[in-house]
Chains A and B, each alone.
Chain A
Amino acid sequence: MSATPRGSHDAHGGHGGHGGHNLTGMVIFLLSESVIFLAFFAGYAVLKVSSPIWRPEGVDGLAVREPLINTIVLVSSSFVAWFAETRLRRGQLWAFRAVWLLTMAMGTWFVIGQAIEWRELAFGLGSGVFGATFYLLTGFHGLHVITGLLLMALMLWRSFQPGNYDGGEAGVTSVSLFWHFVDVIWVVLFLLLYVWQR
Chain B
Amino acid sequence: MSSTSASFDPRVLRAPHPVPGAPDNWKRFFTFNTDAKVIGIQYIALALFFLLVGGLLAMIMRGELITPPADLVDPSVYNGLYTMHGTVMLFLFLFPILNGFNNLLIPPMIGAPDMAFPRLNALAFWLFPLFGTILMVSFFVPGGPSTSGWWAYPPLSTQNPLGLFVNGQFLWILAVALSGVSSIMGAVNFVTTILRMRAPGMGWFRLPIFCWTAVAAQVIQLVGLPVLTGGAVMLLFDLSFGTSFYQPEGGGDPMLYQHFFWFYSHPAVYVMALPVFGIFSELFPVYARKPLFGYEFVAVASFGITFLSLIVWVHHMFYSGTPQWMRNLFMATTMLIAVPTGIKVFAWIATLWRGRLRLTTAMLFCLGGLINFIFAGITGVMLATVPVDIHVGNTYFVVGHFHYVIFNTLTFGVFAAIYHWFPKFTGRLMYEGLGKLHFVLTFVGSTLNFLPMHWAGLMGMPRRVASYDPEFALANVLASLGAFLLGVAMIPFLLNLVSSWARGERASANPWQAIGLEWLLPSPPPLENFEEDVPTVLNGPYGYGLNRPLVADEARYIARANASPAPTPTPASTPRRPEP
B residues near A128, Cβ cutoff 8 Å? 244, 250-251
Report if A40 contacts B (CB, 8 A).
yes
Shortest distance between the CB of B28 and any CB in chain A (Å): 21
| Interface-side segment among A11-19, A71-79, A177-185 | A11-19
Report whether A132 and B199 are in contact in the complex, using a CB–CB cutoff of 8 Å.
no
Report whether A28 and B250 are in contact in the complex, using a CB–CB cutoff of 8 Å.
no
B residues near A24, Cβ cutoff 8 Å? 116, 192, 195-196
Q: Select B580's contact among A16, A32, A170, beta carbons within 8 Å.
A: A170
Report whether B113 and A35 are in contact in the complex, using a CB–CB cutoff of 8 Å.
no
| Interface-side segment among B2-10, B123-131, B228-236 | B228-236
Report if A125 contacts B (CB, 8 A).
yes
Q: B224-249 interface mask toward A, CB cutoff 8 Å, 1 = contact, 0 = none?
A: 11110111011001000111110000
Report if B188 contacts A (CB, 8 A).
yes
Residue of B nearest to A53 (CB): B251
Q: B175-193 interface mask toward A, CB cutoff 8 Å, 1 = contact, 0 = none?
A: 0000000001001110110
Which of the listed residues B120, B251, B260, B577 has the most CB atoms from chain A within 10 Å of its own CB? B251
Q: How far is it, in angstroms, between the C-alpha of A173 and the C-alpha of B187 when the chains are bound?
A: 21
Report whether B245 and A12 are in contact in the complex, using a CB–CB cutoff of 8 Å.
no
User: If A12-B112, A18-B580, A171-B580 touch, does A136 touch B202 (CB 8 Å cutoff)?
Assistant: no
Report whether B243 and A43 are in contact in the complex, using a CB–CB cutoff of 8 Å.
no
Q: Select A15's contact among B184, B197, B223, beta carbons within 8 Å.
A: B197
Report whether A18 and B577 are in contact in the complex, using a CB–CB cutoff of 8 Å.
yes
User: If A11-B532, A132-B245 touch, does A5 touch B230 (CB 8 Å cutoff)?
Assistant: no
Report if A129 contacts B (CB, 8 A).
yes
Report whether A36 and B578 are in contact in the complex, using a CB–CB cutoff of 8 Å.
no
Q: How far is it, in angstroms, between the C-alpha of A50 and the C-alpha of B245 when the chains are bound?
A: 12
Q: A3-32 interface mask toward B, CB cutoff 8 Å, 1 = contact, 0 = none?
A: 011011101111110111110110011011
Report if B315 contacts A (CB, 8 A).
no
Q: B190-210 interface mask toward A, CB cutoff 8 Å, 1 = contact, 0 = none?
A: 011001111111100000000
Shortest distance between the CB of B238 and any CB in chain A (Å): 9
A residues near B241, Cβ cutoff 8 Å? 125-126
Report if A61 contacts B (CB, 8 A).
no
Report if B117 contacts A (CB, 8 A).
yes
Counting contact residues on chain A (CB < 8 A from B), the size range is 35 or more
Report if B502 contacts A (CB, 8 A).
no
Q: A27-56 interface mask toward B, CB cutoff 8 Å, 1 = contact, 0 = none?
A: 011011101101110010011001111100
Q: How far is it, in angstroms, between the C-alpha of A167 and the C-alpha of B579 when the chains are bound?
A: 13
Which of the listed residues B226, B245, B575 has the most CB atoms from chain A within 10 Å of its own CB? B226
Report whether B245 and A25 are in contact in the complex, using a CB–CB cutoff of 8 Å.
no
Q: Select B251's contact among A2, A51, A171, beta carbons within 8 Å.
A: A51
User: If A1-B578, A126-B242 touch, does A32 touch B252 (CB 8 Å cutoff)?
Assistant: no
Q: B562-580 interface mask toward A, CB cutoff 8 Å, 1 = contact, 0 = none?
A: 0000000000000101101
User: If A33-B226, A52-B251 touch, does A129 touch B580 (CB 8 Å cutoff)?
Assistant: no
Residue of A nearest to B530 (CB): A11
A residues near B233, Cβ cutoff 8 Å? 136, 140
User: If A50-B253, A128-B244 touch, does A136 touch B577 (CB 8 Å cutoff)?
Assistant: no
User: If A39-B226, A125-B241 touch, does A19 touch B117 (CB 8 Å cutoff)?
Assistant: no
Q: How far is it, in angstroms, between the C-alpha of A8 and the C-alpha of B198 when the chains are bound?
A: 13
Residue of B nearest to A171 (CB): B580
16 A-B residue pairs with Cβ-Cβ distance under 8 Å, sorted by A, are A4-B575, A12-B199, A21-B117, A28-B188, A31-B222, A36-B226, A39-B227, A39-B263, A43-B234, A47-B253, A53-B250, A125-B242, A128-B250, A129-B250, A132-B245, A133-B245
- Per CB-CB distance, the 7 closest pairs between chain A and chain B, nearest first, are A36-B226, A39-B230, A13-B200, A53-B251, A132-B243, A32-B222, A5-B577
Supplied contacts A53-B250, A125-B243, A128-B251, 17 more A-B pairs, CB within 8 Å: A1-B578, A5-B575, A12-B197, A12-B534, A13-B111, A21-B197, A25-B116, A28-B191, A36-B229, A43-B245, A47-B252, A128-B244, A129-B252, A130-B251, A136-B243, A140-B233, A170-B580
